[in-house]
Amino acid sequence: MDYLYCLLACAVYLALIGGLPRLLAEETLPLLRWLHWGSSVLCLLALVVPALTLGSWTFRSLGLFCAVLLGSGLLAGVRRRLQVTRVPLLATTQAVLVGLAAPVLLGLSLDSTSSEVAYTDGSYTVTVKEGFSLMDNDPVPAELELYRSRLLFFDQYLGHIGRDNLYEPLSALKARWQAVSAISFEADSNRGVAWQAGVAVPFGVNPPYHRGDQLPRAAESAPPLTRPAAMEAEVSEFDRVYTYVEEMPHLPGTVGLEPVAQAIHRRLVVPPRTQEGRVFVQLTVSETGDIQNIRLLKGVNAAVDAAVLTAVRRLPRFEPGRQNRRPVKVSLTVPITVRRRQPGKPYPREFYVKPPPVSVAPTVPDLSGLSPG
């Protein structure tokens, strides 16, 4: 926010603290005290609850938090001017700190638009965020996240909603979820159903996890639609997923799994003092080269596993695998060795492809011009 708006907000805040005490009647002082205590406790919960839940619970919105924070500071300043508080120093400190911090937070909340919310019904909220990458010309899929409402003012982060097409345009993804009329979610299986135009479309959620022994319980992409019983035994060739084909999928301009591991390493961001280990990731490359069904087969700990899954989601589009010259779905399992990064040294690149040696045919000297003897 512009500095002028910050100064204007501070001036209005100070003017309200100075002018409201003259307008309030004595009968409103008990109500003023309860409002002050309630808003202060709510602000304290907004800071403590995310820390206790390891970031799983967050305050409903930054704008709502700024409004409650401004209200608590304003009430503290008014009570201090009326001299009806038992701890004047604490009320003064609260009013001053809120006056300094609230305009900045208010500017941040105004800059962040609500266009990220694609669906909300009071119980569940689906947000769509545009992904970003430090790599140039590297497409990054949009983030599709599911939240559950808690205690009226908090949202619990349930995880990423899986989808088949990771590179679906942001506008189309948001428009598709805005057309959803209702959502039901099952926490035990991390599966849900979204009703769109009277059709139930199932989806899977890859939940967050904070312990090294806890692995995701759901697939990275949504399961297929349930088939009728008469068609259950009939599996079409289109739905078949191969593990080995004549031409395996690969990144453009490369061959094999080693360049895939190198691309994941280049996108891998882990803490400097991380635990070393080996992570096995399984993914499916569709007929169009899109990445689907990302699964973590074996992990190290929560931080490393989450970093590897994020790096896999940032991979570019593959060249699809082919069987009988026809593109098919192929499942790949990629091992990733995570090593501790040394300060001042580049990240170790284990998967280095040495170029093949160039064979040079020996040259034979021309002896035709030599005379015998």
End-to-end alpha carbon distance in the chain: 97
Find out if CATH 3.30.1560 is the number for domain 239-342: no
Give the Å distances, CA to CA, from 103 to 116, 257, 278.
23, 51, 47
Residue bearing tokens 């015998």: 372
Look at residue 100 in the predicted model and tell me its pLDDT: 81
In the chain, where does the domain assigned CATH 3.30.1150 lie?
A: 239-342
Residue 37, pLDDT > 70, answer: yes
**Of the candidates 276, 283, 258, which has an alpha carbon nearest to the alpha carbon of residue 350?**
258
Look at residue 110 in the predicted model and tell me its pLDDT: 57
Cα–chain-centroid distance for residue 14? 39
Q: Residue 160 CB: number of other CB atoms within 10 A?
A: 21
**Of the candidates 342, 127, 362, 351, which has an alpha carbon nearest to the alpha carbon of residue 251?**
351
In sequence order, the β-bridge partners of residue 127 are 117, 145
pLDDT in tens, 176-208: 888 888 898 888 778 888 888 777 788 888 877
Helices 88-111 and 3-23 sit at what angle, rounded to 10 degrees? 140
Q: Residue 50 CB: number of other CB atoms within 10 A?
A: 15
Look at residue 332 in the predicted model and tell me its pLDDT: 92
d(CA 308, CA 215) in angstroms, rounded, equals 13
pLDDT in tens, 299-344: 888 778 888 888 898 899 999 999 888 999 999 999 988 876 555 4
CA dihedral 48, 52, 57, 63 (to 10 degrees): 20
What letter does residue 112 receive in the DSSP assignment? S
H-only helix segments in 112-254: 170-178
Residue 292, pLDDT > 90, answer: no
pLDDT in tens, 101-156: 866 776 666 555 445 888 988 889 999 887 655 555 555 677 888 999 988 889 99
Query: How many Cα atoms within 13 Å fall on the side-chain side of residue 367?
Result: 5
> Do β-strands 154-161 and 143-150 pair in parallel, antiparallel, or remain unpaired?
antiparallel
**Of the candidates 218, 109, 222, which has an alpha carbon nearest to the alpha carbon of residue 164?**
222
Q: How confident is the model at residue 21 (pLDDT cuts 50, 70, 90)?
A: confident
